[in-house]
Amino acid sequence: QVQLAESGGGLVQAGGSLRLSCAASGRTFSRYPMGWFRQAPGKEREFVAAISWDGGSIYYADSVKGRFTISRDNAKNTVYLQMNSLKPEDTAFYYCAAQYSPFTTAESLLRANNLYDSWGQGTQVTVSS
């Protein structure tokens, strides 16, 4: 497994922006797909975005497409989630996660949360109206 630590959450007004970071350690970061998920109170955890090991394949949930951008810096063992035009419905705990199978690129596999074996502690994002 890999150890993950998210940062960058906070309180922002609707229409604002935040940038989440997730620092990884413990295995060769550059080989593994990374994802961002979120969970709002009373709701199930949902997929937000995923990026393949080399950044060549990127996928988003429809609810965030065009507003959020996932990226990674393999030299820094870090994955990012830039969130723009935030809405109150984006309020949730945000988690980054790493898949256990290296070099995966297929969309169906990168969206599947059961294929992620390492999870961070999460960071709270609150968007006020």
Give 12-33 pLDDT, tens digit per residue.
999 999 999 999 998 788 899 9
**pLDDT tens digit sequence for 46-62:** 999 999 999 999 999 99
Residue located via tokens 């502690």: 121
Strands (DSSP E) contained in 8-99 are 10-13, 18-25, 34-39, 46-51, 58-60, 68-73, 78-83, 92-99
The structure tokens listed for 68 are 């959020």
Using DSSP's 3-state secondary structure scheme, residue 104 falls into coil
pLDDT of res. 29: 87
pLDDT of res. 102: 87
pLDDT of res. 5: 95
**pLDDT tens digit sequence for 79-122:** 999 999 999 999 999 999 999 888 888 999 999 989 999 999 99
